[in-house]
Amino acid sequence: MTDPRPETQPRKAARCGRPAGAKNIERPAVIERPAGCSSCGSTEREFLRIAAEEPIAGVLPAPFDHVYTHIVWRNVRCRACGQHYRLICYEHRAAGKNGGGK
């Protein structure tokens, strides 16, 4: 194939990755342990709708030790076996510099 651009128009170099001299961003790894299907255990699911959402704050006791600010009940369907189930999500919505907390 021939390049349709005229010779006077220089080809732009592809810019990939970080600019020269840019620092790496620190990315601490966190583990999410998603809930599995009540029937087959698969964690692949399709979100259907939010059934309810309440600004209820609390702490899930050990071994979770998880602080939450909202509880969200989501109706989902398992992608593996088609089972419908309700996912109860204890979410921590911290107000951050990027406008979190909603």
35 binds Zn ion (CB under 5 A): no
Determine the Cα–Cα distance for residues 59 and 66; give it in Å rounded to an integer.
5
CA-to-CA dists, residue 42 to 24, 26, 49, 76, angstroms: 35, 32, 19, 12
Q: Are 91 and 100 in contact (CB under 8 A)?
A: no
Determine the Cα–Cα distance for residues 57 and 67; give it in Å rounded to an integer.
8
Which CB atom, from 40 or from 57, has the smaller least distance to Zn ion? 40
50 binds Zn ion (CB under 5 A): no
Please work out the total of residues on this chain that contact Zn ion, with binding judged by CB under 5 A: 8
Q: Are 53 and 71 in contact (CB under 8 A)?
A: yes
Which positions from 54 through 93 interact with Zn ion, judged by CB under 5 A? 78, 80-81, 83
Applying CB under 5 A, the span of 20-28, 42-50, 56-64, 84-92 interacting with Zn ion comes to 42-50
Which positions from 5 through 34 interact with Zn ion, judged by CB under 5 A? none
Residues that bind Zn ion (CB under 5 A): 37, 39-40, 42, 78, 80-81, 83
